[in-house]
Structure 1
């Protein structure tokens, strides 16, 4: 096994080139949402494939299944008796939003105060660079088999992930799966993600009239659909902001908590705002349900007229606790909405995405290898954290590969602003991530029992 100091020196010497590779990837606007040019996603896949070929992977393919965006799969066989490790990341990114919200253009990487800004700089092109970096650092000393799987449609919910696994099940089979698409506890302190909330979403359309009518002629006896849908949405939470849908479950509270001052700063909460819910902030974020209205269709202010709106639609996004069945959660949400339709309005619930939550074992040979690798890379032990967001395909991986150990690692930190304007990665932390993954691959070759 290599000396961690020697590996650290290798990472330091290779990191300028890795940073340049990350900047090149960020310049490719690989937005997988259908409204954007998918030629950029294809170009991104080609760029990732070239990086993996240059990192010594002998078998690199760009693959699709079920009409998917292009994914990159690279393989290096395991030496006799050694395990195979699957390294996951994704090369597609979220839409950038308005350029005016960014300090610098979203697809032109820029460094400020030790952070590299740009869409995908953290989520998840830094994950790709972490994998490429570990392969370059270890080179011929790599003592495990490695399969790198870089997906091209994670940011649209991995709609064909099941079809991809079905077609390439043997190609992707591994003993350990490392998903580099999460976060660390904070700058200077690594995290191992041991739980993820699941996701349920749906559209709720409320109808009160068969057609719009004059608000002066008919207003009074009839409330507009926007008001009625707002009243319905208001029933989803108690007065303190706790989700009020019967049938949703909680997982145990985490062992660590999020400092309120840090939370307010990291989230950008306006001054004087009161936090919703009760109990530890970490529990409210990771192990309890959360329900948000993420879209609302109704006449806009600019196009409004003096009529009573006959219908309005809201999109609800429900994050469910580890251990909750998403089908049961959707059923509970539907029952609540239908039972609380105000003033006899008609409510139609259209089912959306279902994503299962994830709970990792706290102790396993792979987890112990990760803990020691992270502690050596950062100089401090990792914190077991949860993530309030969802990575639904992890449950798909466990269904196909039930004996595989899954490690969810991170390149982000609380100020990375993934999916938002001014997304960034802390370059010093990324260098530590490369070192940690190099150490992890070494230690997985000789796991402790």
Structure 2
């Protein structure tokens, strides 16, 4: 049976590759209103793929004000469990088309990798599900609900409403989320820890209006300098986050640490630039908080004039260690910014739109045992259970909505995939292994 399934998966890959390229060509950037219609086209394309894979019924749904999502069903054989397969079809903005080696929405193969925005995150996840279902010729051995969301890259703001509105249609025994990554192209992983996320906009005011920097400079400060001094208090001299009241942990002793050389290569760190903080790299990436300034509102250099800036704003993003609480962490960040204003500057802190609870899961039980066996067989390598520093807001939502379901977090990316970055790509050999792993997982769940 396993050999037959391997052959069936292999036969699906050329078509899955072609359909993945079709999806990548659609610029489904839901975060950009100019691409709202593209996101709708993307949802319809996914729905058509589900129909072609034998779904008994397919719907394109959305909550009020939300992006289109696809829900499709393959009925369960008698006595078989139902598995929900999740992915998302929306993508990040390109970050500048001119910076890409090849056009971001024209899928291009180079050295065994397929380049394009969404090629890995997460249209590869969509096609992993579709290809695995095709391997069973549209008749999987378990019940399947395919749920492909359209606004994950915007923080899934209407997911709670969608889960409430379609709770019965989405109910399942096992949830497989294909939106994470592997430590390498030939080492499969189950993601067991994710950092959470909160963000704020901080505005610093020093003057009611601009003032001449020559006439008044000296006794009067400017808001941009005050903002820079305030933001500098977010870290201590070693680069550790200096915000009090946040949860700080360490990586488990049995989790292999990442080598510094690999981290520097994966992130393209410049020569001579030091890493922040202390402890293991895995601990710093997953089990400690991280804070970053992602944007500043101030005059552009080309537009600057000789005036003291009266006010300036910054967007501050805080990643939370597993075990922390978003409400407490956002309050801690706000209090830190308010307490460290230099020179009596006025500080206003406004909560941002990004909120994601940290996530931890114990991989105990039959579905996880089946997953470990299936993934090891597909990759010819034991599964690694690891955490990643990113945040996936919807996972906590699924866990709350369906507390009895086992949640398996997998993925079709590797460190070279550059999710959210320039020249995002998918390793095509890993893609085939991921499809086989999922097909073996569905088969194993049916047999169990």
TM-score by length of 2: 0.98
* Residue in 2 that maps onto 1:379: 380
Per-residue CA deviations over 1:99-154 (Å, capped at 9, x if unaligned) read 22101100000000000000100000000000001101123652211000000111
**CA deviation after TM superposition for structure 1 residue 56, in Å:** 0.8
SS class of match (1:292)? strand
Shift of 1:93: 0.6
The aligned counterpart of 2:68 is: 70
1:357 is aligned to 358
Partner of 1:422: 423
* Aligned mates of 2:224, 2:43 — CA distance in 1: 44
2:392 is matched with 391
Deviations 1:184-225 (A, max 9, x none): 011211111011000000100011111110001110111111
Unpaired runs of 5+ residues, structure 2, are: none
Cross-structure match for 1:402: 403
Matched-pair contact (CA < 8 Å) for 1:32–1:41: yes
> Following superposition of structure 1 onto structure 2, how do residues 133-172 of structure 1 map, counting pairs within 5 Å?
133-139=131-137, 142-172=140-170
2:260 aligns with 260
Counterpart CA distance in 2 for 1:437 and 1:43 is 27
Aligned to 1:179: 177
CA distance in 2, matches of 1:37, 1:395: 28
Contact 1:205 1:312 in 2 (8 A): yes
Secondary structure class of the residue paired with 1:415: helix
Alignment check: 8 A CA contact 1:51 1:132 kept: yes
| 1:114-263 paired onto structure 2 within 5 Å | 114-139=112-137, 142-254=140-252, 255-263=255-263
Distance 2:64 2:401 in 1: 17
**Residues 1:346 and 1:140: Cα distance change in structure 2 (over 3 Å):** closer
How far apart in 2 are the matches of 1:125 and 1:6? 26
Aligned mates of 1:362, 1:165 — CA distance in 2: 24
TM-score, normalisation: structure 1? 0.97
Q: 1:373 touches 1:440 (CA, 8 Å); kept in 2?
A: yes
| 1:339 and 2:326 aligned | no
Distance in structure 2 (CA, Å) of the matches to 1:199 and 1:300: 29
Asked if the contact 1:115/1:426 (under 8 Å) is kept, the reply is: yes
State how far apart, in whole Å, the 1-side matches of 2:135 and 2:24 are: 22
Give SS of 1:443's match. Answer: helix
What secondary structure, in the 3-state scheme, does the structure 1 residue paired with 2:186 have? coil
Find the counterpart in structure 2 of residue 6 from structure 1.
4
* Structure 1 residues 252-302: Cα deviation after superposition (integer angstroms, max 9, x where no partner): 414221111111100000011111010111111111100000011111111
Q: Whole-Å Cα distance in 1 between the matches of residues 446 and 241 of structure 2?
A: 45
Partner residue, 1:293: 293
**Corresponding residue number in structure 1 for 2:276:** 276
The answer (yes or no) to whether the contact 1:66–1:164 under 8 Å persists in 2 is no
- Hey, what's the Cα distance between the residues in 1 that align with 2:218 and 2:440? 70
Partner of 2:17: 19
CA-based RMSD of the aligned residues comes to 1.0
* Residue of structure 2 equivalent to 1:84: 82
How far 1:436 moved relative to its partner? 0.2
The answer to whether the 8 A contact 2:56-2:75 is kept is no
Task: State the alpha-carbon separation in 2 of the partners of residues 413 and 186 from structure 1.
Answer: 5
Q: Provide the rounded CA distance (Å) in 2 between the counterparts of 1:439 and 1:425.
A: 21
Contact 1:71 1:149 in 2 (8 A): yes
Q: Which moved more, 1:198-207 or 1:353-362?
A: 353-362
The answer to whether the 8 Å contact 1:242/1:276 transfers is yes
**CA apart distance, 1:36:** 2.4
What are the Cα deviations for residues 284-329 of structure 1, in whole angstroms up to 9, with x where unaligned? Answer: 1111100000011111111111000011111011000111011000
Structure 1 unaligned blocks of 5 or more: none
Quick one: distance in 2 between partners of 1:141 and 1:95?
A: 36
Residue number among 97, 117, 122 corresponding to 1:99 in the alignment: 97
Q: Secondary structure at the match of 2:136?
A: helix
Runs of 4+ in 1 over 2 A off after TM superposition: 34-37
Distance in 2 between residues matched to 1:231 and 1:205, nearest whole Å:
13
Alpha-carbon separation, structure 2, partners of 1:271 and 1:65: 47
